[in-house]
Amino acid sequence: MTPRFWLLLPSRALMALLFAAPMVIVVAYSLLTRGAYGGQGEPWTWENYARLLDPLYGEIVLKSFWIAALSTALCLVLGFPLALFIARARSRKTLWLGLVTLPFWTSFLVRTYAWMFLLRDTGLINTILLGLGLIAEPLPLLYNDAAVVLGLVYGYLPFMVLPIYAVLERLDPWLLEAAEDLGAKPWQVVRRVVVPLAKPGMAAGSVLVFVPCLGAYLTPDLMGGGKSILIGNVIQNQFTTARDWPFGAALSIVLMAIVMALLWVALRKSRGAEGGLL
Amino acid sequence: MPVLSVRGVTKEFPGHRAVDDVSFDVEQGQLFALLGPSGCGKTTTLRMIAGFETPDAGEISVNGAPITHLPPYERRVNTVFQNYALFPHLTARQNVEFGLRYNRDAAHTVDAILDLVQMGHKASSRPTQLSGGEKQRVALARSLVLAPDVLLLDEPLAALDPNLRKQVRGELKALQRRTGVTFLMVTHDQEEALSMADTVAVMNAGRLEQVGPPEELYVRPRTRFVAGFLGAVNWIDGIGVRPEAVRVSRDGDLGRESIVTAITFLGNCVHVEAELAVGVKIVCEIPRLQSDFQKGDRIRVWWRECDEMRPEA
């Protein structure tokens, strides 16, 4: 046995034990029948997948895609200028990067509760607006789709900023000067040089934001107030209140298959262009 | 009227004055070289002409119109960057087309200019597929297609393979002559400046030391710095004599008597180092075939009065 084999053994064992084995279990569960008191048992069946044909789930999947796509787009619109600003900053780069990653120092749950404290009817924003007499009734800031998108954008923005920053940081500053030298105004430089060259970072950031947004259940649960049901919440419910593990497993597998198919298409498309996806 | 006029330009950076009251004119159709050691302010001067830095004092004008405070994209001046700065996501042809959409009347078609720099056959290559010399030619085409009033070249040969440099010197000069575009080139290599430029300006520590034709600078340097930067000098009693101007013989009564202290073989020539008096040494450069001197030989050295350099400072 070569040293290479032994050095790779721990990570291979870890992947097999903690990644491959659970995947096999989930696939197996998705093909079993729900037990009377939760759990699962025989007979083997396609029934769980057949249930997914119900238009209700199609709608939820579509809505989840819409919310995840919207959040990703907003992260892109907000994250690109921020990444560009940090990459081009002459000083205090570390400070700005530190501030971007600062939220990671506390738990996501605590930060979501903080947002709820800000947005709810008796929260900080409504209290101030009411106190100033600007509004008569509290604004419905929480428990709707907009609040979910806000929570997702807030939570995943750093995953968009950091990969774009990493690309822009390595961008040759002479390229920007060359573009200006050739007659491009600053915004034209951004459009014709910076954005095309930042594409690999934007693609990586979009994947890092889109995928977790699609499966998110904490933010829609807390900030959507149960009114905004997404696919993540449906899956979560099957494993908790509904006690239908086989159906939850089938949902997970289908969601994962869709994400992987999308990534595969995105990867193939970007292979054609310069650089590739990541 | 000069095509480019730099008047009293000064630029301070935190802690030092990079460019200090620099003035010079560049005439239409010239190849003008700004020569100096690294850190002398020549690149900063170039960047102020391009518009990437703003002078703290002084004025820069092109064809009589002041451009000191115009942004780079409003100047009819283009730059060939030291690393060529080709856009990696565009082909050679797309790089050349880049500036054409910004309201300037192009003097050449893209095809004509690509042919002029002999890159027509590689028009659809990406920069990563091009050699250093090819990248430089695309960068030249990208700027020349816009028919700039002045083309700025920042160390145009520095990124090239050393054995390619001499060949490219000639090509660059030929390109300048053929297009008639005024070239302002920054370099730290005195041989490059002397062999290519119509006019050379020597900078040192932020100041302009002397401006003139290459031969005048070499033969009549105004400062000791210029004399020393353009070539080797023997300083004897405050008078400078270049090694190749020193004549040597075994006998006769010309010049001064001295003793050979070292012989250095350099291939095409030999450096004979001799001691004129205690502590006064002189280097004489003589053709290899005329040298049969040995260490310890008594020789006589002399030079023509017209070869004496008497810098003011």
CATH number at residue A107: 1.10.3720.10
Report the alpha-carbon distance of residue A147 to residue A140 in Å, rounded.
9
Domain membership flag for residue A136: yes
Scan for tokens 């002398």, then name that residue: B40
**Looking at the domain assignment, is residue A202 inside a domain?**
yes
A257 domain-assigned: yes
Phi, psi of B10 (to 5 degrees): -135, 140
Q: Burial letters for B233-258: b for 16+ Cβ neighbours within 10 Å, e otherwise? A: bbebeeebbbbebbebeeeeeebeeb
B73 and chain A in contact, CB less than 8 A: yes
- For position A271, what pLDDT does the model report? 64
Helix (H, G, I), strand (E, B) or coil at B154: strand
Torsion sign across C-alpha atoms B250, B251, B255, B260: positive
pLDDT score of B42: 95
pTM of the model: 0.83
For B104, name the nearest residue in chain A, comparing CA atoms only. A183
Nearest CA in chain A to B94: A192
Q: In angstroms, what separates the C-alpha of B102 from chain A's closest C-alpha?
A: 6
Question: What pLDDT was estimated at residue B199?
Answer: 97
Q: Is A136 helix (H, G, I), strand (E, B) or coil?
A: coil
Kindly report, residue by residue over A198-207, the tens digit of the pLDDT. 999 999 999 9
Say if the Cβ atoms of A178 and B87 lie within 8 Å: yes
Mean pLDDT on A27-37 = 85
Any A CB within 8 A of B78 CB: yes
How confident is the model over A70-74, as a mean pLDDT?
96
Closest in A175, A185, A274 to B85, CB measured: A175
Q: Set out the domains of chain B in order of their start, with CATH numbers.
A: 4-224 (3.40.50.300), 232-307 (2.40.50.140)
B78 with A181: Cβ contact below 8 A:
yes
Residue A208 lies in a domain: yes
Of A172, A182, A197, the CB nearest to B98: A182
Residues of B in contact with A198 (CB under 8 A): none
Range of the domain at A196: 63-272
Q: For residue A38, is it within any domain? A: no
User: Does a structural domain hold residue A265?
Assistant: yes
| CB atoms B99 and A180 under 8 Å | no
Number of domains present in the structure of chain A: 1
How many helices, marked H, and strands, marked E, lie in chain B? 8, 17
β-bridge partners, B165: none
Strand B150-154 and strand B256-265: the pairing is: unpaired
pLDDT at site A266: 78
Residue % of chain B over a pLDDT of 70: 98
Are the C-beta atoms of B59 and B68 separated by less than 8 Å? yes
Question: Other C-beta atoms within 10 Å of A257: how many?
Answer: 10
Look at residue A274 in the predicted model and tell me its pLDDT.
47
Question: Contacts of residue B85 in chain A, CB cutoff 8 Å?
Answer: 172, 174-175, 177-178
The answer, for B95 touching chain A at a CB cutoff of 8 Å, is: no
Q: Which residues pair with B208 in a beta bridge?
A: B203
The pLDDT of residue A277 is above 70: no
Question: Low-confidence residues of chain B, pLDDT below 50?
Answer: none
Distance CA B5, CA A174 (A): 25
Instruction: Give the list of residues 6+ apart from residue B284 with CB closer than 8 angstroms, or none.
Output: B243, B246, B247, B248, B271, B272, B273, B274, B301
Residue of B79, B96, B97, B105 best to disrupt the A interface, most CBs of A under 10 A: B79
Could you report the per-residue pLDDT of A54-63, keeping only the tens digit for each?
A: 888 888 888 9
The pLDDT, as a whole number, for residue B31 is 97
User: Would you place residue A150 in the very low, low, confident or very high pLDDT band (cuts 50, 70, 90)?
Assistant: very high
What is the amino acid identity at position B152?
Answer: L
Q: What is the mean pLDDT of chain A?
A: 88
Query: CB of A188 within 8 Å of any CB in chain B?
Result: yes
Residue A264 falls inside a structural domain = yes
Question: Which is nearest to B30 in space by CA: B214, B204, B189, B157?
Answer: B214
Do residue A185 and residue B99 have CB atoms under 8 angstroms apart? no
Does A59 lie at the interface with B, CB-CB under 8 angstroms? no
Name every chain B residue with its beta carbon within 8 A of the beta carbon of A185.
Answer: 71, 73
The token pair at B307 is 């070869």
The DSSP output letter for B223 is S
CB B222 within 8 A of CB B229: no
Q: pLDDT-derived band of residue A122, with 50, 70 and 90 as boundaries?
A: confident
pLDDT given for residue B246 in this prediction:
92
pLDDT at A264: 87
- Within-domain flag for A27: no
| CA-based nearest residue in chain B for residue A187 | B73
CA–CA separation, A205 and B3 (whole Å): 49
- Classified as helix, coil or strand, A151 is helix
Q: How far is CA A115 from the centre of its chain?
A: 18
- The torsion angles phi and psi of B154, rounded to 5 degrees, stand at -95, 105
Give pLDDT, residue A152: 94
Spatial separation of the C-alpha atoms in residues A218 and A109, rounded to whole Å? 8
Place of tokens 């200006």: A180
